Amino acid sequence: MITVKLPDNSTKSFDHEVDGFQFAESISKSLAKQALVMRVDGDLVDLSEKIPDGAKVEIITPKSEESLEVIRHDVAHLLAEAAKELFGDDLQVTIGPAIDNGFYYDFACKKPLTMEDLEKLEKRMHEIVDRDEKIQREVWNRDEAVQFFKSIGENYKAEIISDLAADQTISLYRQGNFIDLCRGPHAPSTKRIGKAFKLLKLAGAYWRGDSNNEMLQRVYGTAWANEKQLKDYLFQLEEAEKRDHRRLGREMELFHIQEEAVGSIFWHPKGWSLYLAVQNYIREKLEKNGYKEVNTPALVDYKLWEASGHADKFAEGMFTIKVDEDKTLAVKPMNCPCHVQIFNQGTKSYRDLPIRMAEFGSCYRNEPSGSLHGLMRVRSFTQDDAHIFCTEDQIESETKAFCDLLMEVYKDFGFTNVKVKFSDRPDVRAGTDDVWDRAEAALKKATAAAGVKYDQNPGEGAFYGPKLEFVLTDAIGRDWQCGTLQADFILPERLGANYIGEDNKKHRPVMLHRAILGSFERFIGVLIESYAGKFPLWLAPTQVVVTNITNDQDAYAQQVLEKLKDAGVRAEIDLRSEKINFKIREHSVGKVPYIFVVGGREEENQAVAIRKLGSKDQQVLKLADAVSMLKEESKLH
């Protein structure tokens, strides 16, 4: 007798062994037709596997959240099969995993693939789906598999398998005449994969990620559970391209990047105005919430980073400078050890806690060149960083206060959909399990008290403590992880921080590391893309441009400009001898929220003609009323 437990903890019994197909059919024929794989005691496996007695089993269909990774891996195999059918011996397959939102496959090609080839590949992939080829798992021994792949000219696969242990089970999947090395699981046939996929682009990739190896061709694609999801994602990609912060940064004259300062930003006047608007907003919020701003050195003795443990974790990403025969300085990659040095000056009492120490700290990290991406990934950046030194009893109240502040800030910037992840201990970490138990329990309790719901993010904590990760969703549905809160019981110990308690004895403070925006550079990149450059008035680098119809109104245009500036409005003037429609079009491309046009009639009536970005209508107001309107609209309500 075989007993199987269902997700709702009910059971089904069988008088014989059953596999996933039979189990699904015992529930309903409809479920059996949709089934892709199954989850057995927490692990995803093929439907062809026998189910152990007493196992808990869930059938995974395209409606299941877990199905996407399976579908994407299936489609990667579809791509490889199509490539072999179309290009034969002119192409070798290497690896093809599922990734966020899709998949890729790397090929060794005698002749470079083109975008036209992607169209042919995609067409053939659809044909393979229509064939409804069975996808079957086979188990081989290592040497057999190596010889097989060598015999068919697939030397890259043979190399991968050769590196495996001699006694390791080799799992291969066959579909039609194509066979590939893979752990699985996979859908039972190509038709069940569906056709909700699209090949997107070509790129280069070194074999095994090593620049000393040969360059391969990587084909990227996306795959989804149904056509609607695919259509929505392709629309998102199209929108993302229109909103690319690098293009908008050029068009709006915000910033530029050049080879002489790779990974760093040249902020132009308008871009720096935006940067300062964000920074001044955050500074005001911090002051109101009891933070004291500090500033710490950019160059710090490498020994401090060794003492804190950062050198063990981030050595490859740190810029160092040898200044004496026995002294090496590191350009700071983060601010935390420096804040502990400020805390350690003088004696602290329990009455002084919590101490909320904030810094707009400029940090520098040696990110790989290939990972750099506009404002989103840079080597020099500034964080809205802060550290709260508190007692264990204060973790709860400080966590609640921080979460409230963070949500308030995100709302002001237009982000109301915020998800939270709880990241617990990583494999490589400092501190004992007992310390981690305390830190994780304290942060979970504080998060619950703050009324914040979260998803588990196993193993992704910092090396010194668990953390909350705050993920905001932008205007086109993309997720961006920005804010963090980390509970650290370890750095204060390593760096000798203490305070005098009520018992007149020394105690270690808890250190809460926290950021709301993360890096200013990345957050501004997110803002640019979410708003597509059309910022709310309070954020817009230039809130209004005053322009004339003819040079006869130059003096009045200057008068309008002065009135706006006196009211604190970020205003510019355009007195060029260009046609008014040309000037309006140019400033609209620059995403200026308002254009004040002045002609002879406006001057005579001490008025302005107002054009609002995105509107074809024109409104005429008295100058004083127009200035009051802008002042009111630029406030955060």
Return d(Cα 293, Cα 183) in angstroms, integer: 52
CB 145 within 8 A of CB 161: yes
Total length of the chain: 637
What does the pLDDT read at residue 383?
Answer: 96
What would the mean pLDDT of 104-120 be, rounded to a whole number? 95
Find where tokens 């080829």 sit: 133
421/140 Cα distance (integer angstroms): 40
Mean pLDDT of 317-345: 94
The Cα–Cα gap between 606 and 212 comes to 71
pLDDT for 581: 92
Distance (Å) of CA 400 to CA 281, 311, 509 = 21, 32, 18
Name the band, by pLDDT with cuts 50, 70 and 90, for residue 203.
very high
Q: Which two tokens stand for residue 402?
A: 């921080």
Mean pLDDT of 13-36: 93
pLDDT at 314: 87
What pLDDT score does 535 carry? 96
pLDDT for 391-419, tens place per residue?
999 999 999 999 999 999 999 999 999 99
Please give the average per-residue pLDDT across 171-195, as a whole number.
95
- How confident is the model at residue 211, as a pLDDT? 83
Catalytic residues: 336, 365, 383, 385, 387, 467, 513
Task: Kindly calculate the radius of gyration of the chain based on its CA atoms and give it in whole angstroms.
Answer: 30
Report the half-sphere exposure of 253 (CA within 13 A, side-chain side): 12
Token pair in block for residue 564: 């706006």
Q: Identify the pLDDT of residue 636.
A: 77
Q: What is the secondary structure of 617-633 as a DSSP string? A: -EEEEEHHHHHHHHHHH
3-state SS class at 474: coil
Letter string b/e over residues 374-409, b meaning 16 or more CB atoms within 10 A of that residue's CB? bbbbbbbbbbbbbbbbbbeebbbebbbbbbebbbeb
DSSP state at residue 448:
H
Report residue 223 as tokens.
Answer: 């795959």
Percent of the chain with pLDDT over 70: 100
Q: Are 305 and 318 a contacting pair, CB within 8 Å?
A: yes
How do beta strands 594-598 and 544-548 pair? Answer: parallel
**Cis ω before 354 (30° cut-off from 0):** yes
Q: b/e per residue, 270-284, with b = 16+ CB within 10 A?
A: bbbbbbebbbebbbe
pLDDT bin (cut points 50, 70, 90) of residue 637 is: low
Distance of CA 371 to the CA centre of its chain: 13
> For the segment 86-95, what is each residue's pLDDT rounded down to a tens digit?
999 999 999 9
- Kindly state the tokens that stand for 407: 């949500």
- HSE-up of residue 399 (Cα within 13 Å, Cβ side): 27
